[in-house]
Amino acid sequence: MSTTTTTFINKNPAVSDTEKEPVLSYDINIPYVSLSDETSKATPYPAYLPTWDPIWFDPVPPFEFSDPALRVKDKSKPNLLTPNVKVSPIQPGLGSIVEGIDLCDLTNTAKDELALLIAERKVVAFPNQAAFLDSGPAFQQEFMKYFGKPNYQPVSGTVRGFPGFHIIHRNGNKEEIARFLQHKSTTTLWHQDVSYEIQPPGYVMLGLLQGPAVGGDTVFAATDAAYKRLSPKLQAFLDDLVATHSSANMINHTRLAKGLVRKDPVTTAHPLVRVHPVTGEKCLFINGEFITRIHGLKEGETKTIMEFLLQHIIMGHDFQARVRWQPNTVVMFDNRNTLHSAIVDYIDEEHGAAPRHIFRLCAMAEKPIPVGKANL
């Protein structure tokens, strides 16, 4: 991915002084403008506070991706799951907690096995990763480059000098949250990260820098299990469908909110059902954030299919796992066979949101494989 560090040209349209209300947050979990000094002093990791440097990103050209999970010879993962490592399921079919591993010490062979574990279990939580969180953004970014090409976030705040970091930060924001909930019935936003790219992320990392004592969980749903629960006739219908994913709405919203935009909108057609290259499973590839249409269907038909599939996933508590964040936790998940949403329940009427500070790093992977081109 090429970048240009010339002065950013503000493409934001003029906003009328007569507007009655500010533009609602696109995603209530992240800020789009600079934080106050008081907020900035409240974090134990000030180097990870969001910055909005004027950097412009060109479109990502096609690239070769070699999934590290496919290099694993011994499926028992002996280099990763050594005798002193404890693995506990979050739910029977989805999610694992892995204790006794320091991510800083993994060999490349162990990273390959980690990729396989993530593909199989979909969500893997690593508690007690203080050393990794203290290792700094350069080390963390290099760690994630092993799993794929870095993704650079087009609108949200990043770590200065490391634009691959997507910063999730809430603290206070009482008026903003109240205004958001006047218009929205929930803060949840079920999605797959950056699905509009031609080669969307495969492996994704979340690192907790600061969080509330209770709340602020992240909930995941398995999209291969969701697909299996559908009738064979509906599966066959969905197998041939193609959907358009676009970042245009997010980009336009950010400009209206007077936020910084670092990239032109990206619009890409992807199969509605993709085949996972490691597990071979068919997975629904649906997004409550970025899909704009389904090819060959009318608007009402697209809306009906989208609403049904999203509600099917949201209501599928028997193929979901809820990650309860603990201090110094790092989570890695497979963006190809999961859907997820943050849970903004750590707010009260007096103080607004309790502090919650997380970084995200995305490793871009293969172009989604449609059912008709997979070796099933």
Question: 41 CB contacts (<8 Å, ≥6 apart)?
Answer: none
User: Does residue 23 lie in a domain region?
Assistant: no
Residues with Cβ within 8 Å of 351's Cβ and at least 6 positions away in sequence, in order, are 172, 174
Tell me whether residue 117 is in a domain. yes
Query: Is 312 inside a domain boundary?
Result: yes
Q: Is residue 11 part of a domain?
A: no
Residue 118 lies in a domain: yes
pLDDT of res. 354: 83
168: domain range? 38-51+65-373
- Please state the domain count of the chain: 1
Task: Report CA torsion sign: 116, 119, 122, 128.
Answer: positive
Residue 89 domain-assigned? Answer: yes
Q: What is the pLDDT of residue 186?
A: 76
Residue 150 is predicted with a pLDDT of: 97
Beta strand 94-99 pairing with 123-126: parallel
pLDDT digits 0-9 by tens, 285-329: 999 889 999 999 999 999 999 999 999 999 999 999 999 999 999
Q: Give the pLDDT confidence score for residue 348 in this predicted structure.
A: 77
pLDDT digits (tens, 9 = 90+) for 115-160: 999 999 999 999 999 999 999 999 999 999 999 999 998 988 899 9
Q: Which pLDDT value is given to residue 243?
A: 98
CATH number for the domain spanning 99: value is: 3.60.130.10
- Kindly state whether residue 99 falls inside one of the protein's structural domains: yes
Residues 6+ positions from 337 with CB-CB distance below 8 Å: 119, 122, 222, 223, 224, 276, 279, 281, 283
Task: Tell which residue, 40, 45, 36, has the closest CA to residue 358.
Answer: 45
Reported pTM: 0.90
pLDDT beneath 50, residues of the chain: 1-19
Q: What pLDDT was estimated at residue 97?
A: 98
Nearest to 176 by CA among 352, 18, 356: 352
Give domain status of residue 7, yes or no: no
Label the pairing between strands 273-275 and 201-210. Answer: unpaired
| Secondary structure of residue 155 in the 3-state scheme | coil
